[in-house]
Amino acid sequence: MESNRENRQSHLTHLTDAQFGDLLLGTASAAAKAHLEACAQCSEEADRVSGAIGSFEQQSLLWAERRAASRPLLAPHRQPVLSWLHIPANPQAWTAAVLAIALAAGIGVAVRNDISARKDHLQAMQPQLAEVQPAPSVSPSTLKADNELLSAIDGELRADTSTPVAMYGLTATSRSARARAPKRIAN
Amino acid sequence: MASTFRMQLVLDPDMICCVTGEPSLTELDDIEALDRVYRARLLRFVAYSTGDQDLAETIVQDCLLKAYNARDSFRGDCAVYTWLAHIATNLVRDRQRTRKFQFWRRIQRTAPDLSELSSLLPSGESSPESQILARERAQQVSAALEALSSNQRTIFLMRFIEEMELQEICQATGMQISTVKTHLHRAVKAVRLKLGGKI
């Protein structure tokens, strides 16, 4: 049986790349399948390659599952980039939004009317403001008296040369003066 | 237990939608469900497409939010995952076109590291030796994917890892079926070579 198989192998060429690829894809021709049954070498190689791919499939899936499990699940809803533009779904929210817009528009109109009324009032007041004279300045006689008083104060401050040493009746002497003074001889 | 589970599948309206191919509106309306069901698969697809797991996190986040915001435009012509993969593919292309992406790709990449999973190997492998062998082979596939072109890698991942049909890949990538097949054959050849195949 075994020798018979080897004899048949010797008459056959091995599977080509294309046949081998078709074999893995499951689209092998009848001739390729027949050769695979007869050829132990091609059969072993097909088993080895498909087994390696199967091992890779299993191990890579284990890796991916472990990696995916270590990450948190996606949030149910992604926060939109312009979240303030988020359109409300319920009618109450719409009503509230419309009221808020109306209120904001009303406040805006009121403020605008108030500003324009103030502008009108200022424009009406403008001629009267133009007629207002500045307050009268200080009279020359008062100014002269004030200057004299300030000069007197300044003169007194300048004349006062009293020092803390003079206040207590002390005399300041330098080291050289002490050196020149005659030495007191003790009896 | 199995019969109970089957009964639940039949009675669950979401599952009926999936089975009949109709869009699962509940699934699309609930962003948390969308996240829970598809995030891991999308993350794997995008991470291996870009080769950068941090970038993949961002793209998957954007993809899920885009899908949720545009859920009204989903007509149900394809599976939800195909639609998500289409969005993710476009996002990946947009990122890959930018010069900033190309610059940072050269400087620093945080490619997914399968060696982190030494303690989480699938239980299908019986012995420790088989587990080590399986991990080595998976890393060889991962290395082979890095050497592929962007289109080849994306299509290979869609077909063999995400198990999408050729027609779904055409929908997700906007390519002709002949183009998809060409990319697939080249990718398979590269992976086969990496795994020590005889060409």
Question: Searching chain B, which residue's CA lies closest to the CA of residue A41?
Answer: B198
Q: What pLDDT is stored for residue B2 in this prediction?
A: 40
Q: What pLDDT is stored for residue B132 in this prediction?
A: 83
Question: Lowest-confidence range among A3-17, A62-76, A144-158, B137-151?
Answer: A3-17
Residue carrying structure tokens 């190997």: B121
User: Which residues in chain B are closer than 8 Å to A64, comparing Cβ atoms?
Assistant: 40-41, 43-44, 47, 112
Q: How far is CA A142 from the centre of its chain?
A: 65
What is the ipTM, given to two decimal places?
A: 0.75
- How many A-B residue pairs are in contact by the CB < 8 A criterion? 127
Contact A55 B138 (CB under 8 A): yes
Q: Which amino acid is at A45?
A: E
DSSP B159: I
Total residues belonging to chain B:
199
For residue B61, give how far its alpha carbon lies from the nearest alpha carbon of chain A (Å).
8
Q: What pLDDT is stored for residue B1 in this prediction?
A: 41
* Spatial separation of the C-alpha atoms in residues B174 and B170, rounded to whole Å: 5
In chain B, the percentage of residues whose pLDDT exceeds 70 is 71
* Spatial separation of the C-alpha atoms in residues B56 and B164, rounded to whole Å: 20
Asked if pLDDT for residue B125 goes beyond 90, the answer is no
Q: Which amino acid is at A76?
A: P
Cα angle vertex B57, ends B102, B77, to 5°? 100
Each residue's pLDDT tens digit, A8-43 = 544 457 888 888 888 888 888 888 888 888 888 888
User: Which residues in chain A are closer than 8 Å to B135, comparing Cβ atoms?
Assistant: 55, 59
Q: What contacts A140, CB < 8 A, 6 or more positions away?
A: none
Asked if pLDDT for residue A127 goes beyond 50, the answer is yes
Q: Whole-prediction pTM value?
A: 0.57
Name which residue leads in pLDDT, A134 or A157.
A157
